[in-house]
Structure 1
């Protein structure tokens, strides 16, 4: 089981770790411009797209769980059909996002209520990057399908290629051409389509190897469509609550001024690097639990859960130690603005504690999504968001930004606690083969 976890988690760690590194580069490039509002603008722009794209994260998470269960049951045609349904939905949602870009941007800027300078730059970022929506969402569906087939190395190849394109173009457009935040956005658009093109090429080869066929009647089967809608609906609500917690955090930080917003944005880069690494074990749990559920093997589910939690906890400890050792140096890399540096230094204890507080929720997410126990995931996240907002509204007036961080970390702890209480339902739902 250790080998099986690492066959999935190893490539995913390498793949995932490149994602926040691009965010680090984005922040570092604009962090050495003349004003902190450039950092804030990229943070706000990235938040809007995290909210928009990851609201449709069910295209990845739901596809992995459903396709893994079909693969575990040996149903090749259903593995194909799951991909077809996900890609059709991804294309439709991506085009809808482009069509609705004006109201989406207006609502986002109203909700965050940043300074005029930050809002203007964030709008410029949004108006370019929105054109990546179809590619970004289709890529979610492909990655979910590749993971279900235990082709984690393909996701590594896609992500590394995409992020290398993003990195090179980021430096060229911003530092070379002087395009500012517009250059960051343009680099992201081109990189998303490059990643999708590579994924489609690999998909074509895998389909030829696996056999089976696409059957319209199966793809559009009413029962399976209802199951997909149910799973995706619950994951959508869950993800919306998760993103709302991050949105609440950013919006409250923005209301405290550009320096606080920039310092919090830098600390979120620490959180992002850690989260993408820990997510590798959540993805591994999702695939292994999904296949075990498909074959109705309760003992295999337990082995997968124990092993994924063990490695996730080891990595959480390593990240806490890493931030303790190199946190100040990373802050200096991310910004040359002294006021932002000083504010970020004061927040480093939160970055150090975050891996140990967050690891439980991340890993449980993968377990529940692999078992397609999405109702429990949804309900847990609703409760956690309510707690986060309640803590924030109570503590921010008393403690300012410290109160905001207490609320945000309380949200992370609550994710693990609520799903731990729900976990016995996962095992009870499985019939031993």
Structure 2
């Protein structure tokens, strides 16, 4: 029996993977639901500028939020390794470091965003009325940024200690409060765009309070203590800050690629950029589901590395990798058989539909190409090897830029070819880094 087959047949690992992956998949699905409720509520307000203000304001708010996503990923790996090492004091210290960093960045970034808001909204070329309402929205919305970042840190710590159900509960509290207050403040009280912003802020802060309460319960059960003397020194903060720095650079590069898709697609016309956006929605939905398995890899591989258990590391990768492949093939089958229906549900514009149909084959193959980058991201996050993630992303972005330039004459077909290659190179570069580490026997100390 080969080691891979032996690892796949380990039933305990299958149970561990799905006990973590399933709650995370459900958690991920709540994210587009809340955006849908916000846009639906805004879409029923009397002025078209209200919907535009919420759409534009949300886009500006997500700039710092997505860029600071390292607070979730960086925390997970350190927490998982501390749990694997059975070090309660390290677990408590990691949690405190992550929360302090999230609170500090939430206040500093929120304050620094305020004077930039008029300029950022000016880049959207919106009407003065829409810009004014978007400013009202953002002035309130930024009050929730510290809570949103605390939720990132809390979710990362809960995933690392394999409390995925608590992560699900945290997101459900945040999002259910947001939805309920949206319906109360806007249709009920008639507060309009400010009511939508206040509902989001209230959801984020109540979610953060719930998460802090659950985190306090968890650390009391663990024992140990926060190493306050060590936290006063740079050496104790350096590993976390370096990992977060590299994940931040990697995230900015990834966002740059998706921004480039919209930018270069717009040169092909409004209908083309709209069709590309509809197709990318399919990739995003697929990624939401497959990221649940990647989250399981983060926790289980980090735990195995902390425990010094190479066999557990292999089992987690093989089992999660097998299910990721099955899930990606299911997505390929869905888009191959129901891709036209997927497009039709999103738009009734004939020109946009026709263009989307033309490029649907690219979406059909993307899940099985991109799944390996999600899976290997989970491995490197769990191992707190963010430098390799950063370097792999930079190589992938370089190839993307070169291919976009080389295929300019192909128009939108060339753009999709470059993006497919980018996703493939992401996975291949991480696999190459992983094999180098394996040859040095450096995954597990």
TM-score when normalising by structure 1: 0.86
Tell me if the contact between 1:82 and 1:219 (Cα under 8 Å) persists in the aligned partners. no
2: CA distance between counterparts of 1:177 and 1:269?
Answer: 33
C-alpha spacing 1:68/1:299, structure 2 compared with 1 (3 Å): same
- Tell me the CA shift for residue 412 of structure 1: 1.4
Matched, 1:314 2:326: yes
- In the TM superposition, what whole-angstrom CA distance separates every residue of 1:8-61 from its partner, at most 9, and x where no partner exists? 111111111222333445566678999999988766655544431122222111
2: CA distance between counterparts of 1:292 and 1:319?
Answer: 30
Match for 2:309 among 276, 280, 297?
Answer: 297
Matched, 1:74 2:58: no
Q: Which residue of 2 aligns with 1:116?
A: 126
C-alpha spacing 1:341/1:35, structure 2 compared with 1 (3 Å): farther
Q: Which residue of 1 aligns with 2:416?
A: 405
- Tell me the CA shift for residue 116 of structure 1: 3.4
Tell me if the contact between 1:36 and 1:259 (Cα under 8 Å) persists in the aligned partners. no
- Tell me the CA shift for residue 289 of structure 1: 1.0
C-alpha spacing 1:353/1:181, structure 2 compared with 1 (3 Å): farther
Tell me if the contact between 1:286 and 1:369 (Cα under 8 Å) persists in the aligned partners. yes
For structure 1, which segment, 356-365 or 227-236, has the greater mean C-alpha deviation from structure 2 after superposition?
A: 227-236
Q: How does 1:2-151 map to 2 (within 5 A)?
A: 2-26=14-38, 45-102=57-114, 104-105=116-117, 108=120, 114-116=124-126, 120=131, 126-151=138-163
- In the TM superposition, what whole-angstrom CA distance separates every residue of 1:209-229 from its partner, at most 9, and x where no partner exists? 111122311333432211112
C-alpha spacing 1:269/1:42, structure 2 compared with 1 (3 Å): farther
Tell me if the contact between 2:137 and 2:193 (Cα under 8 Å) persists in the aligned partners. yes
C-alpha spacing 1:281/1:96, structure 2 compared with 1 (3 Å): same
Match for 1:238 among 247, 250, 253?
Answer: 250
Match for 1:269 among 272, 281, 284?
Answer: 281
Tell me if the contact between 1:40 and 1:265 (Cα under 8 Å) persists in the aligned partners. no
Task: Indicate the RMSD between aligned Cα atoms, in angstroms.
Answer: 3.3
Unaligned runs of 5+ in 1: none
What is the total number of aligned residue pairs between the two structures? Answer: 430
C-alpha spacing 1:431/1:324, structure 2 compared with 1 (3 Å): closer
Match for 1:157 among 162, 169, 176?
Answer: 169
TM-score when normalising by structure 2: 0.84
Q: How does 1:346-385 map to 2 (within 5 A)?
A: 346-385=358-397
C-alpha spacing 1:334/1:193, structure 2 compared with 1 (3 Å): farther
